[in-house]
Chain A
Amino acid sequence: MSYKLLPLRFERFNNDEIFITNEVGEFTFISKDKFEQLIKCTLNPQDETFLNLKAKQILTDTDINPVIEMLATKYRTKKSFLNKFTALHMVVPTLRCNSNCRYCQVSRKDVEAHQFDMDKSTAKKVVDTIFQSPSPMIKIEFQGGEPLLNFKIVKQIIEYSEWRNLFKKKDLEFVICTNLSLMTKDMLKYLKKHHVYISTSLDGPRDLHNKNRPLQATDNSYDILIEKISLCREYLGHDSVSALMTASRFSLERFKEIVDEYISQGFNGMFLRSLNPYGFAKRDRRMLGYTMEEFVENYIEALDYIIDINLKGTYFVESFASLLLTRMLTPFSTGFVDLQSPAGIAISGVIYDYNGNVYVSDEARMLAAMGDNKFLMGNVNKNSYLELFNSEFIRSLIRSACLECLPECSSCAYQSFCGADPVRNYSEQGDIVGHRPTSEICKRNKKIMHYLLDLVKQGNGKIEDVFWSWIIRRPIENNVCITSS
């Protein structure tokens, strides 16, 4: 034998080619014949395929120890999101909400139900808990309900966090997720002073947005939203506001219109998100839901449309594709709470409910709102940081949330790009490990990854430039090709 195989995973990509990845996500495509030779260790060392596989560290014909060192370094880089234990801290200042979203996933409460507000003492303990995190970076994200309904607690958390950070000196960031309807100039002045980013929801053109996300006071939430986005930009700057969309059944077949709406409102990117099976979305799934095949079909059509828009000179990013492409084409770490291994629950992101309950993720909180406290970590008013984050419950949960040892995932060629989501598995399939052959998320991820890899494989330099502009988050400048092709 003239060479040795290094750890690899493979999958039949099409009728003629095999897709091969190594442990750190470097990949290539080879013919079936060459694959057979590779496995039998009969590839000719002068062969271009051999040299390509050697360059990708899928095989080696030299001393193996330096190769292991190199792969270990790359592996450490890929998993470096683990150093930020725990970076994302979501806080629910209130469950009250003035929206009337059709697919509300968090079981909102009436605007007058003040018993669902976070109190001052709990807010202080939430911040104290957050600042025990060893992560050098802390992002505090206000969720709801509608956080602006309890703005005094939002302010208290921001100011107390800033005070705590005088001593901790972490990279501290605030985001407020709001429907914007209650945003005032005074609030904006405050948010500007404290460098708070705004995340809102825009589901598409007027009729679609109003159908998915009406306010309780009016069905025409769209006009209010657009006016308030403009106001936010005036006070905080154009890029201080981002928006998310959620696709309901009403959104299918309209993804291009949704993209156009984002562009016309001055956004330079969006995240095409499918509906999560929690709250009203789960209760009313027959009316609001759709199959994952339908979503993927719409997603791919929209992705092609977005690529075309970029090719015509408008910089516009689809964030899910951008995340996957970063994993496929760069050696860097890309933690993403819903899609990483080990799963991001508790160790990358965590949520503090209005009453101090701590859940491993926002989806875990949504499950709790439906009466299932399976993923409750404890309560800031009763438990210490170590009791919350270093419990046997969290340890066993994370042990069951590593793709490297999950059935089917362990040998999946897409593993380096994918992630485990035990809360979703539990919600959809009844157990945290899940059943891959019937997993909707597995279907979605594999199909989208396959599509992106196919585009990469085609080697179209212009499309590659678009992809790289998404990865580096900058427009293609002066039509200069970044890629060598």
Chain B
Amino acid sequence: MKEIVKKISDNQLLIEVNKKIYEFEAILQTSYKFTDKCYINIDSISEDIIGVYFKKKDEGDVSLEEVVDKFCNELIDQQVRVVVERSCGSIRDEIVKKAFSPIN
């Protein structure tokens, strides 16, 4: 995992996420969950790599290394959610549509 985490400065880290493995939606949803811990910026680095930049907030004593470790685990869960949603999201739409249809 070390290779994808890069230290930019004492209060900034970068994770390089492979787009072939993780979709943008998963990266975005994961990033959102950590916006209480630090400032996060998402940017394209290359055709295959998305960079997620973490910057410490002034308040608190958050360990960026810890945040990044948790981020990586959460990213897996969020990617699974994206896959599940793609697989059965249309079924959910169908259930809700039927639920609110007039009953004969």
With A12-B77, A39-B80, A437-B35 already in contact, the answer to whether A72 and B98 are too (CB < 8 A) is yes
Q: Once bound together, how far apart are the Cα atoms of A435 and B31, in whole Å?
A: 13
- A-side contacts of B37, CB under 8 Å: 437
| Residue contact A7 to B89, C-beta cutoff 8 Å | yes
Could you tell me the distance in whole angstroms from the C-beta of A395 to the nearest C-beta in chain B?
16
With A76-B99, A76-B100 already in contact, the answer to whether A4 and B36 are too (CB < 8 A) is no
Specify which of A12, A64, A69, A437 is in contact with B34 (CB 8 Å cutoff): A437
- A-side contacts of B35, CB under 8 Å: 435, 437-438
Interface code A323-352, partner B: CB below 8 Å = 1, 0 otherwise? 000000000000000000000000000000
Specify which of B29, B34, B81, B99 is in contact with A72 (CB 8 Å cutoff): B99
- B-side contacts of A75, CB under 8 Å: 95-96, 99
Could you tell me the distance in whole angstroms from the C-beta of B3 to the nearest C-beta in chain A?
25
Interface code A399-414, partner B: CB below 8 Å = 1, 0 otherwise? 0000000011001000
Is A23 an interface position by the 8 A CB rule? yes
Is B88 an interface position by the 8 A CB rule? yes
Could you tell me the distance in whole angstroms from the C-beta of B87 to the nearest C-beta in chain A?
5
Number of chain A residues close to chain B: CB under 8 A: 26
| Residue contact B99 to A6, C-beta cutoff 8 Å | no
| Residue contact A6 to B88, C-beta cutoff 8 Å | yes
Q: Once bound together, how far apart are the Cα atoms of A4 and B87, in whole Å?
A: 9
| Residue contact B95 to A411, C-beta cutoff 8 Å | no
Specify which of B29, B84, B89 is in contact with A39 (CB 8 Å cutoff): B84
| Residue contact B33 to A411, C-beta cutoff 8 Å | no
Specify which of A6, A68, A407 is in contact with B32 (CB 8 Å cutoff): A407
- A-side contacts of B32, CB under 8 Å: 407-408, 436-437
Could you tell me the distance in whole angstroms from the C-beta of A464 to the nearest C-beta in chain B?
29
Q: Chain B, interface size: which category?
A: 20 to 34
Which residue, of A8, A79, A408, has the highest number of chain B Cβ atoms within 10 A?
A: A8
Interface of B is mostly: helix
Is A5 an interface position by the 8 A CB rule? yes
| Residue contact B80 to A7, C-beta cutoff 8 Å | no
The residues in A between 39 and 83 inclusive whose CB is less than 8 angstroms from any CB of B are: 39, 64, 68-69, 71-73, 75-76, 79
The residues in B between 33 and 60 inclusive whose CB is less than 8 angstroms from any CB of A are: 33-37
Q: Once bound together, how far apart are the Cα atoms of A68 and B34, in whole Å?
A: 35
Interface code A16-30, partner B: CB below 8 Å = 1, 0 otherwise? 000000010000000
- A-side contacts of B87, CB under 8 Å: 4-5
- B-side contacts of A407, CB under 8 Å: 32
Could you tell me the distance in whole angstroms from the C-beta of B98 to the nearest C-beta in chain A?
4
Q: Once bound together, how far apart are the Cα atoms of A68 and B94, in whole Å?
A: 7
Could you tell me the distance in whole angstroms from the C-beta of A98 to the nearest C-beta in chain B?
43
With A39-B80, A408-B33, A437-B32 already in contact, the answer to whether A7 and B88 are too (CB < 8 A) is yes
Is B62 an interface position by the 8 A CB rule? no
| Residue contact B84 to A437, C-beta cutoff 8 Å | no
Is B8 an interface position by the 8 A CB rule? no
| Residue contact A437 to B88, C-beta cutoff 8 Å | no
Question: In this complex, what residue of A is CB-closest to B77?
Answer: A12
Specify which of B33, B91, B100 is in contact with A68 (CB 8 Å cutoff): B91
| Residue contact B84 to A438, C-beta cutoff 8 Å | no
| Residue contact A23 to B100, C-beta cutoff 8 Å | no
The residues in A between 99 and 115 inclusive whose CB is less than 8 angstroms from any CB of B are: none
| Residue contact A5 to B99, C-beta cutoff 8 Å | no
Q: Once bound together, how far apart are the Cα atoms of A408 and B99, in whole Å?
A: 24
| Residue contact A5 to B88, C-beta cutoff 8 Å | yes
Q: Once bound together, how far apart are the Cα atoms of A79 and B97, in whole Å?
A: 13
| Residue contact A4 to B88, C-beta cutoff 8 Å | yes
The residues in A between 424 and 481 inclusive whose CB is less than 8 angstroms from any CB of B are: 435-438
| Residue contact A7 to B92, C-beta cutoff 8 Å | yes
- A-side contacts of B84, CB under 8 Å: 5, 8, 39
- B-side contacts of A12, CB under 8 Å: 77
Question: In this complex, what residue of B is CB-closest to A70?
Answer: B95
- A-side contacts of B95, CB under 8 Å: 7, 23, 68, 71-72, 75
Q: Once bound together, how far apart are the Cα atoms of A411 and B92, in whole Å?
A: 13
- B-side contacts of A7, CB under 8 Å: 88-89, 91-92, 95
- B-side contacts of A435, CB under 8 Å: 35-36
Question: In this complex, what residue of A is CB-closest to B32?
Answer: A407
| Residue contact A23 to B33, C-beta cutoff 8 Å | no
Question: In this complex, what residue of B is CB-closest to A69?
Answer: B98
Question: In this complex, what residue of A is CB-closest to B81?
Answer: A411
Question: In this complex, what residue of A is CB-closest to B83?
Answer: A39
What are 28 A-B contacts defined by CB distance under 8 Å?
A4-B87, A5-B88, A6-B88, A7-B88, A7-B95, A10-B77, A10-B80, A12-B77, A39-B80, A39-B83, A39-B84, A64-B91, A68-B91, A68-B95, A68-B98, A69-B98, A72-B95, A72-B96, A75-B96, A75-B99, A76-B100, A407-B32, A408-B32, A411-B78, A436-B32, A437-B34, A437-B36, A438-B35
- Which residues of A does B touch, CB under 8 Å? 4-10, 12, 23, 39, 64, 68-69, 71-73, 75-76, 79, 407-408, 411, 435-438
The 9 closest A-B pairs by CB, nearest first: A72-B98, A437-B36, A7-B92, A75-B99, A76-B99, A72-B99, A438-B36, A71-B95, A7-B88
